[in-house]
Every structure is written in structure tokens, then in C-alpha cells.
Amino acid sequence: MPSTTAITVSQLSRLVGLPGAPVIIDVRIDEDFDADPRLLPASIRRDFKTVSTWGLDFAGRPVAVVCQKGLKLSQGVAAWLRHEGIPAESLEGGFEAWREADGLLVSTDKLPARDEKGRTVWVTRARPKVDRIACPWLIRRFVDPHAVFLFVEAAEVPAVADRFQAVPFDIDNVFWSHRGERCTFDTMIEEFGLESIALDRLAAIVRAADTARLDLVPQAAGFLAASLGLSRMFRDDLEQLEAGMLLYDAFFRWCRDATEETHNWPSAGKPS
């Protein structure tokens, strides 16, 4: 009989990258993490021994707990969270089952240092459009759901990065930037090890729209038009980012599930 307190690898993989995905908490011991320091997308590392002190941080949100094999640590933490009224499940088979199923994993060797609240902090040019919305979307959905993004005048990005310990992106002469014909979104997918057909499809659309090569993929022109429309709708860059998240969510879901679907107006006299 299937467990009522566990989520399977296939079930969780269908939720990863979507706005309604559960919070993924990695409670592997340091020895297991050091042996393979990759993380499930957007997961948060926590010490299972101190769950009583941090558990309520996740109140009101569904949680999936991951340990090495899906046994005592994740099941115990999930049970504790449920005791606190938090809907929590353990990942069936744990990290090992996810890895054996070729589940998406995030490389951590390029992850920036986190601030005192456990967040990565990034800075880029103000008035974002394509790449500077794509990169925050990717980070929030797959790397750090609590990441902070600072939008400032282009000339001030290096100084703000230095003074506020923020990571600069999508400007010249920094690590997280364009490389040849590939844009910063491509760079982040590569450096974080996000091997995904859906993300590769989305990257092609972003690249074509961001570099004005609208001939590369048929979706690029519409994507660019939507991005430019959003930039005209919002004066505040953070409000634009929040609105842009939905646009990228929709395109990601299309890239993952709907590329073969068509929509035609019904012929006269035929039911719709």
C-alpha cells in the first residue's frame, strides 16, 4: 500500500520548477552531503537535530524532506513538521533514489556565499527585460527560492556588488554573463549543472529574444513582445520581476509539457 506520508520521485519531479512546488528540505548528514554535494532544485539544507528550532519557519507551506535513503532522518523530520501542523512528506528512497532516476540536481560549487539570513544576493542593471528576468526566475525556481535581487544603475553595479557582498550578473567582465553567442541564462544553466530538455528549450527562446535573433526559434518574437510589454507596465523593477515570473513559469511549462499541442478554431458546423 502506498505511503500516505511520502512523496515519490516521479511525483516530486513533476512539481520541481513550478510555483506550487513544495519547499524541499535536505537533511542529509554532512558525510553524505560531502560525498555528493549536489542538491535537489531549490532545496534548503537544514540540520535534522535542530528541527524543533527551525520547523515553524515553514508554517503554511507544503514540505518535502530529503535524506540519503528516505528512512529515519527524513521520516522523523517530516513527522515532526506534521506535529507542528505543517503538511510534510519524506521523499521515498531519498537522495539516492532521486539520483538513480536521473532527477535534476544543482551543482553547489559555484553557489555564492549566503547572507546572515541564508539568502544569496545578486545585483544587476536596472530596467530588466529578457535575460535579467530569466536569470532571477531560474535562481528562484531551481537554486535559491529566497534569493535577493538588487537593480541599480549600470555604472554602479560593481560598487554595489562590493559594498553589499552581492553577486553581479549580466554585465560585462563578470563570471555570470554572456559567453560568445550564449546569454547569461545559458551560463547559469551550465554552471549550476541543470541538465533539462525543458530548460534547454526555454534557453533557446531566451537567447533568441535577448540577442535579437528572432529567426532562431518561432516563439522568440512573441516572447520578446511580452517581455517588452511588461517593462512598459511597471515602473518598479521588483514589481516587474514578480509579474515576469508568471511569464517564465508559463513558457517553462510549455517547454516541458505542451510543445506538441496545437489549437485550432473549430470549422463551421462542427462542435468546439
pLDDT at 18: 96
Per-residue pLDDT at 3: 80
CA angle 213, 218, 222 (to 5 degrees): 85
Q: What is the pLDDT of residue 261?
A: 86
What value does the mean pLDDT take over residues 218-231?
95
90-94, 143-147, 216-220, 267-271: range with lowest mean pLDDT? 267-271
Q: Which residues have CB under 8 Å from 209's CB, separation 6+?
A: 130, 220, 221, 223, 224, 227
Which SS3 state, helix, strand or coil, does residue 226 take?
A: helix
Q: Tell whether the model's pLDDT for residue 271 goes beyond 70.
A: no
Cell of 81: 513538521
User: Rg of the Cα trace of the chain?
Assistant: 20
Quick one: pLDDT at residue 265? 81
Taking the C-alpha atoms of residue 49 and residue 67, their distance in angstroms, rounded to an integer, is: 13
Query: What span, in angstroms and rounded, lies between the C-alpha atoms of 131 and 227?
Result: 10
Q: Which three cell numbers stand for residue 159?
A: 560598487
Confidence at residue 270, expressed as pLDDT on a 0 to 100 scale: 58
Give per-residue pLDDT as tens, 46-83: 999 999 999 999 999 999 999 999 999 999 999 999 99
Q: Per the structure block, which three cell numbers stand in for 232?
A: 512598459
Name the amino acid, one letter, at 70: G
d(CA 28, CA 73): 8
- The reported pLDDT for the residue numbered 214 is 94
DSSP state of 219: T
The pairs formed by 26-29 with CB atoms below 8 angstroms and a separation of 24 or more are 26/66, 26/67, 26/95, 27/51, 27/65, 27/66, 27/67, 27/73, 27/74, 27/77, 28/66, 28/67, 28/68, 28/73, 28/95, 29/68, 29/73
3-class secondary structure per residue, 13-57: HHHCCCCCCCEEEECCCHHHHHHCCCECCCCEECCHHHHHHHHHH
Q: What is the mean pLDDT of the chain?
A: 95
Amino acid at 199: L
96-110 pLDDT tens trace: 999 999 999 999 999
Q: What percent of the chain has pLDDT over 90?
A: 93
